[in-house]
Amino acid sequence: MKIQSVRGVSDILPENSFLWQYVITKAREVFCQFNYQEIIIPIIEDAKLFNRSLGADSEVVDKQMFIINRQDDTLALRPEGTAGVVRAYLEHSLDRKNPFVKLYYVGPMFRAERPQKGRLRQFNHIGAEVIGSNSPFIDAEIICLASGILESLGISGFGIRLNSLGSREDKLKLSKLLRKLLEPQLKSFCGDCQNRFERNVFRLLDCKNESCQKQVKSLNINPDDYLSQESINHFEVVRKTLDAGKINYQYDPFLVRGLDYYTNTVFEINHPKLGAQDAIGAGGRYNNLVKELGGSEAGAIGFALGVERLMLALEENKDKIEPEKLDLFIAALGEAAVAQAFTLANELRKAGISVEVDYENRRLDKKIARASKLGAKYLGIIGEDELINKNISLKNLETGEQEAVSFEINSIRKVIC
Ligand code: HAM
């Protein structure tokens, strides 16, 4: 019996892996433009890290963590990257070297969710975290950075929703306000919402049930009722800066995020093409997390984009994004010619030219057919005559031009490059 992949994970096959590389490479370029440095953190962490950071009542910790019990340790496959980055920041005292850091990461995350289009159990994040600043301009920079990555990939039509949850005290006020507003109608909410009401009222705002959503949207939430003046001022600068930078966003007072650590600015980026799972990325401030994990007071903000969802959004443009073409395909006829092709190919590769050699003992037309199927720029033929003359017959597969070139690497390079 064949062994299948496990539920909710996907293989990225060669016909799509170039798109994957394209997404990551473009993102890295934009991170570089914004002066972010890469951090590479482990996939497994102490499960306590996520309980403390994301909150034991969050959907992710409550229901979706992949837990590994090993001897006395309870480990978790990381469901997200923020907690691990803050853990690493504190563990290596990055704040001592420089209290202000701008970091990015790329890698797999794990959540035991019900799989569907755009929702996997192993998926990948391109994420960024800025630690050590309370400046509202950093909030605007982070949002510019996220939308800059989407733009650099040629993704358009996405929308950014923006809200402020305020400080820890403001959030407490907001949760009390929500309880007061929701209690009279709680019976008409779904069972899940009723259970969540006491433990984490914010989760009612995230419920996907249509009737719950309708009721939530009819609530009269006024930011002045729960945001402090300081939080209002901060949010105003964020909005003004985004307006000045011509970054389109929509203020959404119902946007709360499912993870406990968020404070102040939160945002979500949605793409209508993605269907039910339309969040292509999300983020926000988490001003208390560094302290909660044992550090000193430090403002922080970040976001993560879902790579698989970026790839879905790119599906339409896929034909415009071409993988690197193979420079040269060598069709050699006979064992001596194949041996010559082997040596030549190795030297050409060292000189930076991509080369494929057909080692099989088959007819020339079959070898040529493979060269065109691979989309090679040049076809090189080495037969008996070429061996005697110590040259390779190079054919430009686009123009049809053909010439005999000596086996010398520089001569071949001159024609191909
Ligand atoms: P998140 O909203 O949980 O935020 O995830 C960010 C993005 O990851 C989502 O918008 C979505 O594109 C993608 N994503 C999440 N779950 C799945 C899944 N099961 N399958 C496929 N894609 C998925 C965070 O994780 C925060 N750490 C972001 C952040 C960084 N906030 C501050 N800093």
DSSP 279-347: EEEEEEE-TTHHHHTT-----EEEEEEEHHHHHHHHGGGGGGSPPPPPSEEEEE-SHHHHHHHHHHHHH
Query: What spacing in Å lies between the alpha carbon of 281 and ligand 1's midpoint?
Result: 6
Backbone φ and ψ for 314, nearest 5 degrees, come out as -90, -10
Cα 115 to the chain's mean position, in Å? 18
Spatial separation of the C-alpha atoms in residues 349 and 341, rounded to whole Å: 12
* Percentage of residues of the chain with pLDDT beyond 90: 89
DSSP sequence for 120-163: -SEEEEEEEEEES---HHHHHHHHHHHHHHHHHTT--S-EEEEE
Q: How many helices (H) and strands (E) does the chain have?
A: 17, 16
Query: What spacing in Å lies between the alpha carbon of 94 and ligand 1's midpoint?
Result: 25
281 lines ligand 1 (CB under 6 A): yes
Backbone φ and ψ for 380, nearest 5 degrees, come out as -110, 130
Model confidence at 293, in pLDDT bands (50, 70, 90)?
very high
Query: What spacing in Å lies between the alpha carbon of 237 and ligand 1's midpoint?
Result: 26
280 lines ligand 1 (CB under 6 A): yes
Triad 182, 166, 295: Cα angle to 5°: 125
> Residue with the nearest Cα to atom 13 of ligand 1?
306
> Residue with the nearest Cα to atom 11 of ligand 1?
306
> Residue with the nearest Cα to atom 17 of ligand 1?
119
Query: What spacing in Å lies between the alpha carbon of 286 and ligand 1's midpoint?
Result: 15
Query: What spacing in Å lies between the alpha carbon of 79 and ligand 1's midpoint?
Result: 9
- Of 160, 18, 52, 26, the closest CA to residue 106 belongs to 26
For 29-64, what is each residue's pLDDT tens digit?
999 999 999 999 999 999 999 999 999 888 899 999
Model confidence at 97, in pLDDT bands (50, 70, 90)?
confident
Model confidence at 378, in pLDDT bands (50, 70, 90)?
very high
Spatial separation of the C-alpha atoms in residues 231 and 234, rounded to whole Å: 5
What does the pLDDT read at residue 319? Answer: 82
Ligand 1 nearest-atom number relative to CA 127: 30
For 188-216, what is each residue's pLDDT tens digit?
999 989 988 988 899 899 888 899 999 99
What does the pLDDT read at residue 239? Answer: 98
79 lines ligand 1 (CB under 6 A): no
What does the pLDDT read at residue 254? Answer: 93
Spatial separation of the C-alpha atoms in residues 95 and 28, rounded to whole Å: 24
Write the DSSP symbol of residue 63.
I
Q: Which residue has the tokens 């929500």?
A: 178
Mean pLDDT within 364-389: 96
Cα 341 to the chain's mean position, in Å? 41
Cα separations in angstroms, 197 against 215, 222, 409: 14, 20, 72
The mean predicted confidence, pLDDT, of the chain is: 95
What does the pLDDT read at residue 114? Answer: 93
What does the pLDDT read at residue 367? Answer: 96
What region, left, alpha or beta, does residue 70 occupy, with left being phi > 0 and alpha being psi -120 to 50 degrees? beta
- Helix (H/G/I), strand (E/B), else coil: 164: strand
What is the 3-state composition of the chain as percent helix, strand, coil, each rounded to the nearest 5? Answer: 45, 20, 35
Model confidence at 317, in pLDDT bands (50, 70, 90)?
confident
What does the pLDDT read at residue 96? Answer: 87
Model confidence at 320, in pLDDT bands (50, 70, 90)?
confident
For 138-176, what is each residue's pLDDT tens digit?
999 999 999 999 999 999 999 999 999 999 999 999 999
What does the pLDDT read at residue 316? Answer: 78
How long, in residues, is the chain? 417
Query: What spacing in Å lies between the alpha carbon of 50 and ligand 1's midpoint?
Result: 14
Model confidence at 290, in pLDDT bands (50, 70, 90)?
very high
Ligand 1 nearest-atom number relative to CA 120: 20
Determine how many CB atoms are found less than 10 A away from the CB of residue 188. Answer: 12
113 lines ligand 1 (CB under 6 A): yes
Mean pLDDT within 67-77: 96
269 lines ligand 1 (CB under 6 A): no
For residue 152, what are its two tokens?
Answer: 């650099």
What does the pLDDT read at residue 258? Answer: 85
Q: Would you say residue 333 has pLDDT above 90?
A: yes
Spatial separation of the C-alpha atoms in residues 355 and 324, rounded to whole Å: 12
What does the pLDDT read at residue 101? Answer: 97
Mean pLDDT within 310-332: 91
